[in-house]
Amino acid sequence: MSGHGPAPTRRRILIVTDAWAPQVNGVVRTLQAVRAELIAMGHVVEVIAPDRFHTLPCPTYPEIRLAMPAPGAIARMIAAFGPDAIHLATEGPLCLAARRWCLRHNRPFTTAFHTNFPDYVERRTGLSADWFWPYFRWFHGAAQAVLTATPSVRAELHRAGIRHTHHWGRGVDLTQFSPLGDGHPALAGLPRPILLHVGRVAVEKNIEAFLALDTPGSKVVVGDGPARASLEARHPGVHFLGMLSGEALVSAYRAADVFVFPSRTDTFGLVMIEALACGTPVAAYPVTGPVDVLTAQTGAMDEDLARAVTQALELSPSACTAHARGFTWRRSAEQFLESLHWLDAPALAHAA
């Protein structure tokens, strides 16, 4: 038997993903955080990820390594683990192989729409996003549910013909991201206000729109990526700190006056709630992600990003931290469990 419903105590959950460490992005951080919560709840979680296979660079995005599993490798791994539920987190080769196995053996599975790849590819190549949506409709069409982070993403998928969606929110580690503590020393002597951006430095993140703002104060970028060298060359007055993690990252959030999120393609934007948890208000465009995460008390959204920055400077840090407390990884993990469709695990031993 298989079905959708509450997770029984201690079940075996398989997550297949084409995005995993050492990549640093929202997909990987979400999966790692939710896996930790599921294990804390008593479940057994197996992850089939690129770190087990030979990899090749992703076309148009060479920093992402795509796994090339040998024929039958995914089937053997699934059968060896014997999962009670299967989730396919991405739309790449590993999840394609797992999807094929599930359909061949009439096993239910869920998928997720983490990344708006049609828009990403359009920004990188100039090819219309409309060319790529048929593949995503095909990939997600066979799933029992497609997990989405926000109402805006859900509406976008419905317009694209993907309608069987399930809400799966995001969280923030409130024990780590907090306004209590020191600011990053590299920001200590900079002219105020300090405008901060954290994230992958790539063309689809639209960081140029932030760096080109004619605003007083200082601009700081935390992160790395393929566009960093060209952006540094064009904007010598901007402070690029590279990749930060742990307390160094938190201290950068704390030291900033406004967090600027210029992306128009993100499906959520974990960095926004990290900034809010540290008491830093957000300035953004009124697009998918910000419109679902921010409130009038915690962020300013405007097609004029400079105006949004000015408005965000007036917002209350305490309102930001209060709002961030509503985003927990435990609730995210509970929503993930609610979406799963449970398998008859003993039958898997005969399905390879």
Query: Are 30 and 147 members of one domain?
Result: yes
Query: Are 89 and 160 members of one domain?
Result: yes
Assigned domain for 178 exists: no
Our count of domains for the chain comes to: 2
Assigned domain for 153 exists: yes
Question: What is d(CA 348, CA 352) in angstroms, rounded to the nearest whole number?
Answer: 7
Query: Are 119 and 261 members of one domain?
Result: no
Query: Are 101 and 7 members of one domain?
Result: yes
57 CB-contact burial (10 Å; exposed 0-12 / middle 13-18 / buried 19+): exposed
Local mean pLDDT, 10-residue blocks, the chain (352 residues): 58 95 88 97 96 80 75 94 97 94 96 76 63 90 96 91 95 96 96 97 93 97 95 97 97 98 92 98 96 97 98 98 97 97 58 43
Of 192, 190, 240, the residue nearest 220 (C-alpha): 240
Assigned domain for 176 exists: no
Q: Are 13 and 87 in contact (CB under 8 A)?
A: yes
Domain CATH for 229: 3.40.50.2000
**Phi and psi angles of residue 167, each rounded to the nearest 5 degrees, phi first:** -70, 130
Query: Are 43 and 96 members of one domain?
Result: yes
What's residue 56's pLDDT? 82
Query: Are 67 and 209 members of one domain?
Result: no
Assigned domain for 177 exists: no
Domain with 268 in it = 185-326
What's residue 128's pLDDT? 66
Model confidence, pTM: 0.88
Query: Are 101 and 77 members of one domain?
Result: yes
Assigned domain for 232 exists: yes
Of 237, 247, 231, 321, the residue nearest 282 (C-alpha): 321
Query: Are 70 and 219 members of one domain?
Result: no
Range list of H helices, 88-243: 93-104, 117-125, 133-141, 151-159, 207-211, 228-234
* Residue that has been written with the tokens 């990290």 in this structure: 274
